[in-house]
Structures are given as structure tokens and as C-alpha cells.
Structure 1
Amino acid sequence: MNKILESIRERRSVRHFTNEPVPEEKVEKILEAARWAPSGKNNQPWKFLVVREENKKSEIANCTHYSKTVNRAKVLIVVYLDNEKVYDRTKDIQSVGACCQNIWLATHALGLGAVWNGEILNHKKCVEKILETPESLELMAIFCIGNPAENPTSERIPLEDLLIENSNR
């Protein structure tokens, strides 16, 4: 099977990590993959913040119901939408989604585990205050990353259940 298709099928959300550190080189490779995501007019409307410092991670963990996962992670990658670059909000948010997919796939390809903490978006103001986020940046995602201490499995809805029937085709 094609390596990209294989990675898409194998990647899982990992919430438990070992105490082993994540090398800076791997974080740079993840961010490099993220910046190559497609975007309308190639405006690349994203910004990243890498958080490794334990006290800062602990403060961020207090902003989510998934605090244990945030605290267990060795690295957080915070993804923002740069509203100063936005030309079409929907397309730009979709571009940030593609950027996030690249983060996930690169993390998996490098033998690391990650989970996309979406619930924390309910507490954007809390995170933005802790990270002293400029007003032009809007929190889109926080990835909790580390060396996996688990090998989770997942099921998918059958493809035929996802297809919309259209009698006018």
C-alpha cells in the first residue's frame, strides 16, 4: 500500500505518552510539514507556538477537561489562524485544518503520538491569556505530542453508510 495512504489509515489519537523527551529536530520536521499545507492564494494563514515548559503546560492544562493529556505531553503545538492574513474565513479555516492534518501525519510518520485537543477551543480566552496571544491570532488547535505509551485502535463507519444517494446522477 502507498505510504501516505497507509499513514492515514494507521494514525490514531494518542493520549498517553512515555517520559522520553521529543527531540527538537522532530518538532522542526512536524512544523515544516505543517507549513507546506495548501491554502487559498497561498496566504498560509497559520502561526505556531511550541510549548515545552512544564509550568506553562500545567497552566494550559487547567483550561481543559483533558488536563491529564496536556500534562503528559512532552510538547504542545499551538496552532493559530492569523486573522491579518484572512481573505476568505471559511477557506482559511479549512487551510488551517489541512495544516493540522499535516501535523498529525508528520507526527505519526516520525514515530510519535499526538492528539488534537478540540475541547480546549471552548476555553480560548483562558489559553490566549496564558500564552499572551496577540489579538490578530485566533486559537484553532492544540496538539499534545509525545512518544506513545499506548497503541490505540479505532473503528470507522463503513463507506457505504457515508455516501449520499442521489437519484439525479
Structure 2
Amino acid sequence: MNQTITSILERRSIRAFKPEPVPEREVNWILEAGLYAATSRNKQPWFFSVVTNKAILDKITRGTLETMRTTNIEQYKIKAQDPGFSPFYHAPTVIFLSGKDDEASAVIDCANAAQNMCVAAYSLGLGSCYVRSFKQAFEDRVLAVELNKALGLPEGYSTIFAVALGYTDEPPPNTPHRNRDVIRYIK
């Protein structure tokens, strides 16, 4: 089996990170992998914000927690009570993927970029987790404007996903069962 297939099959979402920073060289390779993701009609309707600033990540976490505390979803209310909660699992580096608001394929294209980034991170010996729960912080319009500015977003872009990156501080989870009944060959 080749290294690409191995990386895809072995990569797991990591939810515990060591505090040491990810070297910029590795972050640049991960960003490059994201830039090479497939996009509809090669529109590349994305913008990537690399955040290592703990104050910004903490602000997003506080906004997420505030929304979780006031929701009607019981699971979120329970999570919001955890004093160690972080939608980024305390990763030292988080890449936010934002898409053009007027591009229909932006969500799918950003998902493709996030997947490429996660596989690239694994191939470089880093852990990653593809996250979206932080989006709740952006439900507060005033806070969203402030956060968009902090993330350096151009006008007409909205944050869609994030990839938490760092050195793993936990063993990778076991490989979950894969249902093979979802495959049909039509000849």
C-alpha cells in the first residue's frame, strides 16, 4: 500500500493536544495541501486564517459557551458546564476555513480543503480534528463582526470549518467499524 492510502486509512481525529507550537514549516505544508483540494469549477472560494493567538481562541470559546448555555439542546448545555471545554480541544494552532458567501460550492470546497489538511497533518506526524462546533460563537452578530475582523476575513466571507492542529497528547482512537454494505458495483 502506498503512503497516501496509508495516511488516509490511519488518520484519526485527535481531541487532546500538547501545548507546544506547530512549526510554521509544517503549517505551510498543511495549508498547501488545503490549497490543492478539489473545488467546483476551480473557483477556490476559500480563505484560511491560521490562529495561534490564545486570546482569540479563548474569545471564540467563550462565545461558543455562551450560546451553548442558552440553547434548548440539552447535550450542549451539559457540555457548557465542563470547565475545561474548548471547541478546539486546546490545540495550539487552529486553521479557520471561510468561504465566499455568494459561492454555492463554498461549503463543499472548504470541506475538501479541511480533509486534505487533516491527512497532510497526519503525514507530518501531527494530530488534527476537523471541527464546526465553534460556529455557535458566530451566532451573535456583534461578536461575529469582531471575530471576522480578528480572523482577517475579507468582506463577503463567512467562517465554515476549522482544523485544530498540534502534537497528540493521547493515543489515537481505535479504528471504528466501516460498513461495507454501502458499496455496489454496477457492471
Fold shared, TM-score > 0.5 on shorter chain: yes
Tell me by how many angstroms 1:135 deviates.
Answer: 4.5
Tell me by how many angstroms 1:19 deviates.
Answer: 2.2
CA RMSD of superposed structures (Å): 2.4
Query: 1:41-72 deviations in whole A, cap 9, x for unaligned?
Result: 21111100011111111111223357435362
Query: How do 1:27-46 and structure 2 match up within 5 A?
Result: 27-46=27-46
Q: Retained in 2: the 8 A contact 1:14–1:115?
A: yes
How many residues are matched? Answer: 162
In structure 2, the gaps of 5 or more residues are: 66-78, 80-84
- Which residue of the partner structure matches residue 79 of structure 1? 97
Tell me by how many angstroms 1:139 deviates.
Answer: 1.3
- Which residue of the partner structure matches residue 130 of structure 1? 147
What SS does the corresponding residue of 1:156 show, helix, strand or coil?
A: coil
TM-score (normalizing by structure 2) = 0.76
1:58 corresponds to 2:58: yes
For 2:4 and 2:50, locate their aligned partners in 1 and report how far apart those are by CA, in whole Å: 25
Query: 1:16-54 deviations in whole A, cap 9, x for unaligned?
Result: 111221101111111011001111221111100011111
* Residue range with higher mean Cα deviation, 126-135 or 39-48: 126-135
Q: Which amino acid in the other structure matches residue 147 of structure 2?
A: I
Tell me by how many angstroms 1:164 deviates.
Answer: 6.8
In structure 1, the gaps of 5 or more residues are: none
Tell me by how many angstroms 1:4 deviates.
Answer: 1.3
TM-score (normalizing by structure 1) = 0.83
* Residue range with higher mean Cα deviation, 4-13 or 63-72: 63-72
Query: % of aligned pairs identical?
Result: 27
Regions of 4+ moved over 4 Å: none
